[in-house]
Amino acid sequence: MDLSAVEAFVRVAESRSFTEAARVMGLTGSGISRAISRLEAQTGVILLNRTTRNVGLTAEGAMFYERCRDILAELKLAETELLDAASAPSGRLRITAPIGYARSVLVPMLPKFRQLHSNVVVEMSLSDAIVDLIDDGFDLAIRIGELIPPKLTSRRIGVARWVACASREYLEEHGYPATPDDLALHDCVAFQSADSRRHRDWQFWHGSRSWTVRIGDMAQQTIDHCDVIVDAALAGAGIVYMHDYVVEPHLRQGTLVRVLEDYSTPERSIHLLYPAMRALTPKVQAFIEYSMHEFGIVDVSGHRTALSRRTSNQLMSGTS
């Protein structure tokens, strides 16, 4: 059934005028008349009594009008709700992130984001492996490193620095290494990739000199999960080499102590990635804005990244 013809019939029934119905719908009177004639032909029922002076409903037309009026009202409400959903953050937001970053940074951020956007359901998939956002259906990824895959757009949200540290108890018993060469005299816990089974080398430099410590050749323990490496360090197993965001709470509390502080270590950019060919949905845009606000990111002109007025006000007031 032609919905435009149904709407034309309802407008005529309400106004008792082809001319007024045409004005409301932006059509001509003859166009309205033809639409209703098609509707009557399709249903096989006369819906309107037409005279030169007025338009009235037949008994069948009155019954049809009552039902069609309610149906059009429901359709209008559905359209409004659809437009609202398309403009407000809602639905399932799928994020993939490294395990250590998710535990240390992402998970603590989410309660406030959920307070701001209660209609967004966050689904996280945690892995240190690189997944394909597009093929695997993710909205966003958090990646640590400079390589941005093709077909993806990135937003830089921070920097990860490597930190060598150990428990205070371990250092009181074994002493502090004075140079990276001294690591050979210490118990060290190495990270081994669960996928490649390769060990991550420890890198340092001071002035013009650099050190690459092949930790896999000298480590007393090898672990393939960053959180367990932190647990090992807290238990006094030895010196570990981790991203600062993983160990920062323990450094702040004093349960872990940084060593070789006079030596520089590599830095890696932290990016939010999302498919370049997709238009940003409200839920993705909301998470990007929220993340950049939380990290105090500024744009190239030096201005703090602007949130939407609604989100900014919510962040300042703490309301949802």
83 three-state secondary structure: helix
Q: Which pairing describes strands 48-50 and 55-57: parallel, antiparallel, or unpaired?
A: antiparallel
Judgement on whether residues 279 and 150 belong to the same structural domain of the protein? yes
Residue 189 near residue 238, CB atoms below 8 Å:
yes
Contact partners, residue 259, CB within 8 Å, separation at least 6:
164, 165, 166, 171, 176, 177, 239
Q: How confident is the model at residue 298 (pLDDT cuts 50, 70, 90)?
A: low
Region 156-182 average pLDDT = 95
**Residue 320: is its pLDDT beyond 50?**
no
Judgement on whether residues 237 and 281 belong to the same structural domain of the protein? no
Q: Which two tokens stand for residue 285?
A: 């845009």
Judgement on whether residues 210 and 76 belong to the same structural domain of the protein? no
Count the residues in the chain: 320
Judgement on whether residues 60 and 147 belong to the same structural domain of the protein? no
Judgement on whether residues 284 and 150 belong to the same structural domain of the protein? yes
pLDDT at 134 (0 to 100): 80
Judgement on whether residues 167 and 73 belong to the same structural domain of the protein? no
Judgement on whether residues 208 and 294 belong to the same structural domain of the protein? no
| pLDDT higher at 230 or 132 | 230
Total domains in the chain come to 3
Percentage, residues of the chain above pLDDT 70: 90
pLDDT at 307 (0 to 100): 41
Judgement on whether residues 255 and 216 belong to the same structural domain of the protein? yes
d(CA 48, CA 60): 9
Judgement on whether residues 277 and 242 belong to the same structural domain of the protein? no
Q: Output the domain CATH number for residue 9.
A: 1.10.10.10
Which of these three, 33, 67, 85, is where a domain ends?
85
| pLDDT higher at 310 or 282 | 282
Region 128-156 average pLDDT = 83
pLDDT at 227 (0 to 100): 84
Judgement on whether residues 258 and 165 belong to the same structural domain of the protein? yes
Q: Output the domain CATH number for residue 201.
A: 3.40.190.10
Which of these three, 251, 267, 283, is where a domain ends?
267
Alpha helices, DSSP H, located in 88-196: 99-101, 107-116, 133-136, 168-174
d(CA 21, CA 28): 9
Q: How confident is the model at residue 250 (pLDDT cuts 50, 70, 90)?
A: very high
Q: Which two tokens stand for residue 263?
A: 């030596």
Region 286-291 average pLDDT = 91
Q: How confident is the model at residue 172 (pLDDT cuts 50, 70, 90)?
A: very high
d(CA 314, CA 159): 27
pLDDT tens, position by position, 184-222: 999 999 988 766 778 889 999 999 999 999 998 888 899
At residue 233, what are phi and psi to the nearest 5 degrees?
Answer: -65, -45
Judgement on whether residues 178 and 211 belong to the same structural domain of the protein? yes
Domain that holds residue 21: 3-85
CA dihedral 276, 277, 280, 281 (to 10 degrees): -130
Which residue, among 160, 157, 223, 162, has the nearest Cα to 188 in the 3D structure? 223
Which of these three, 58, 85, 112, is where a domain ends?
85
Sequence-separated contacts (24+) of 297-306 with Cβ below 8 Å: 297/155, 297/156, 297/157
Which residue, among 207, 154, 209, has the nearest Cα to 181 in the 3D structure? 209
Distance of CA 99 to the CA centre of its chain: 16
Judgement on whether residues 130 and 220 belong to the same structural domain of the protein? no
pLDDT tens, position by position, 5-17: 888 999 999 989 8
Residue written as token pair 């001294």: 182
Contact partners, residue 74, CB within 8 Å, separation at least 6:
none
Cβ burial of 201 (10 Å; 0-12, 13-18, 19+) is middle
